[in-house]
Structure 1
Amino acid sequence: MVLIVLGFIIFIAINVVVKNNPVAAKFAGAGRILALVFILLGISTACVKQIDAGEIGVKSLFGSIQNDIMGSGLHFINPLLDVKKLDVKTQNYTMSGVNDEGNKAGDDAIKVLTSDGLEVTIDLTVLYRVVGADAPRLLRETGEDYRDKIVRPITRTKIRDNAVYYQAVDLFGSKRDEFQQRIYKSIEDDF
């Protein structure tokens, strides 16, 4: 888009200079050709979008999200379309008490109350991925910051909701796998 605007600016500047300075008229043809080259180059680059492996593209025209998605590869599109790229590979979101380990700075570990009334701090990593077919709906209803609007709050809520069924000793001992499966099932249902 920048090249298109630059081409129009060059075209207008050449016409103004030629009108005010007849000596510069001999350069008008070359200037107009240069402007045309910039405009055509801008249009051709705006029509081509590359989507990398593990990503999908969601088309947006003047803020209106379209339902069709673009898979990985090279695509020829309307130059007015804006393509938002989303990662569809498995991603992780870590909440940790170590300052530089998680996705948020500082202590982001989850503090939960267990069935015996004790407060337990849990470090957690959630693996998730965006389902390609649902990506337009995700962008339309949530936006590009779905990690902070969906992944983090739902995870924290489900951890707290499920921890109340276990005693503190069980969370780190014999029922840890059962606790993880219960969390996995409840998060999967909401995601």
Structure 2
Amino acid sequence: MANNAQLQLPKTLMPIILIGIVAIIFLSKSTVTIDAGEAGVLWKRFDGGVVTDQPPLGEGFHIVAPWNNVIVYEVRQQELYETMKVLSSNGLDILLETSTWYLPKADELGYLHQKIGENYLERIIKPALRSAARSVVGRYTPEQLYSSKRDVIQNEIFEETRTILDDEHIQLNEVLVRDVTLPPTIKDAIERKLKQEQESLEYEFRLVTAAKEAEKVIIEAEGKAESNRILSASLNDQILRDKGIEATLELANSPNSKVIVIGSGKNGMPIILGNQ
């Protein structure tokens, strides 16, 4: 009898075990955990597919029907490093290295998934960036790309790429031109030209400086000449005699001088001999 009870016990537990297994499977299929920096697009099998009229699922734990599906997207800023070969305005090959900062628009994830899909980087961002880069670089010469226009080119590539991606539910934050590589012969020619221009500017600066110095000397000389002319015009014989007398008296009173006066000099001035 005891043996029969032991044999019947597993039979009574079988439904419970089956129910438990089904519940575990149901729960495993019905729960979704979305990590930090992510969001989920809900796809309903029996209710219209991709949900676009509701916000995407945010971070944390969620329960969904097991026959539905959740596609998780990273919504943090991401970087695309791209090296591409483009043509300048005169048809020369230019190697352009860029960094692009982008992220999907979180509130438009449903439309992004429905229209483009998870592989939106390859399907839309890279083609848009390459198209904008070719369009912009094709308007400039290698010399402009190498020197003065790099910031302008970077901004133009950013604006053209953003215009495309704004309609594709993707937010573009920045496009940075990391490097512009020209053919070696063109690069050397540009560097020589820039060096010659710099030397020419330096030479012109020296000429301008020298001209200003000469002008300064002329002005100073003219000033001194005018000063002497005014001084000469203001002097007369009486003033000169008075100045001579003052100088003679000061010299005569000097303890270190011995003065011998003999006769008189020109204009009645004394002649001074001896200074020991």
**Structure 1-normalised TM-score?**
0.75
Q: Which residue of 2 aligns with 1:156?
A: 130
Q: Which residue of 1 aligns with 2:49?
A: 64
Bigger shift: residues 133-142 or 70-79: 70-79
Q: Which residue of 2 aligns with 1:53?
A: 36
Deviations 1:103-142 (A, max 9, x none): xxxxxx3111111321101122211100011111111111
Q: Which residue of 2 aligns with 1:104?
A: none
Matches within 5 A, 1:1-191: 26-62=9-45, 64-67=49-52, 68=54, 69-95=56-82, 109-191=83-165
Q: Which residue of 1 aligns with 2:258?
A: none
1:24 Cα deviation (Å)?
Answer: 6.3
1:168 Cα deviation (Å)?
Answer: 1.2
CA distance in 1 between partners of 2:87 and 2:111 (Å): 35
CA distance in 2 between partners of 1:137 and 1:148 (Å): 17
CA distance in 1 between partners of 2:133 and 2:155 (Å): 11
Helix, strand or coil: the match of 1:129? strand
Larger radius of gyration: 2
Helix, strand or coil: the match of 1:159? helix
Structure 2, unaligned runs of 5 or more: 1-5, 166-276
Q: Which residue of 2 aligns with 1:20?
A: none
Q: What amino acid is aligned across from residue 29 of structure 1 in structure 2?
A: T
Deviations 1:49-93 (A, max 9, x none): 111111110000228111121111222222222000011111112
Structure that is richer in helix per residue: 2
CA RMSD of aligned residues (A): 1.8
Aligned length in residues: 156
Structure 1, unaligned runs of 5 or more: 1-22, 96-108
1:182 Cα deviation (Å)?
Answer: 0.5
